[in-house]
Structure 1
């Protein structure tokens, strides 16, 4: 009887010790999730993203001529402008076409005209650079009856016409002429004060090859478009 009693006591003691061991074991917490390594933002630094300087300035314009229609959408960011033009010809049912032009500066004015008198319009775009010089340029397209486009650009100034030029160009259409005018500067003038007292006026005609100079004259500063601009 003593042997079985000892065996029973031994089994009871083993069970008690095993239960104590389980009670003392604490659960292991799960490993924390990895934290992304994000560098701190310096004090005073601008947050990454779109700033006011990156926000495009949008302008829309619709022109028509000779039964054609031109819808222009311009987006200017900083000193660059993208001009998207939807062209609808006078032919009923013809599919419109899109033309795109990237320029430095902004679009100052656009003209739908017919300088060569072929009953098919041209689209001329007067652009102007930023800064005090406000240098002007003219680009655009001439079209055939089916809507095919050929680029147009005003020819560069020759040596005589460029004498005294320092920007502030203006472009306009008078009859069958494209007219460019700008004030003349003396060498020691600052950009805000042309003192030569004259404006050069250049007239261009459109022939089969493009724009060519038809006439160039000097006119007194008073009473010219530049006089109004410079007085602002």
Structure 2
């Protein structure tokens, strides 16, 4: 970071943004300086931002090596993201983006049931299929900023319950094949099982139709049956 972005310049930018957010009526904590707790003496700076209408509070942190941390937390959950700051513009964009989307997001506990989900037979790009408390969510593989929890190497959908940062508008805007399917709007749904491919067809109350497919080796058919039957009842055929 010393070569790309000066530590003091990055700290001053965070302080400037905090002053601006406070003038906008947001609740902003005083800027706190300390060390990163790793015993190497690197300086850190942190600040928290919130508002009465936000479902989660934001926390920003940055150490002098250029590693930034962003936390979303509420009374029950917290979700962290970490990444390297490449430039002052990058840091500024990160701060602005997170505060801009903060009123839309909430923290939910979701289950990742498939890693190979597509939006139909003509969709060749795999995506992740999530079951959230009120909706099914399909996210095309790629750089999605809505779910900030990173999966570890060797991760499978059989071990995939996470608290996630949920921003439906950002999910749908990221790609046309992404889906947010509220359970309350499902008129009927049918789970099917094949030798190589399994699927879920959903007809919605507004007349739209969704087709989700995934590889048969995934646990999605069993997990969706367990999760959707209590929610959809007779609207689901298995």
Q: TM-score range with shorter-chain normalisation?
A: under 0.3
Bigger relative CO (Cα 8 Å, ≥ 6 apart) = 2
TM-score calculated relative to the size of structure 2: 0.24
TM-score calculated relative to the size of structure 1: 0.25
Q: Find the structure with the greater CA-based Rg.
A: 1
Which has more helix, going by share of residues? 2
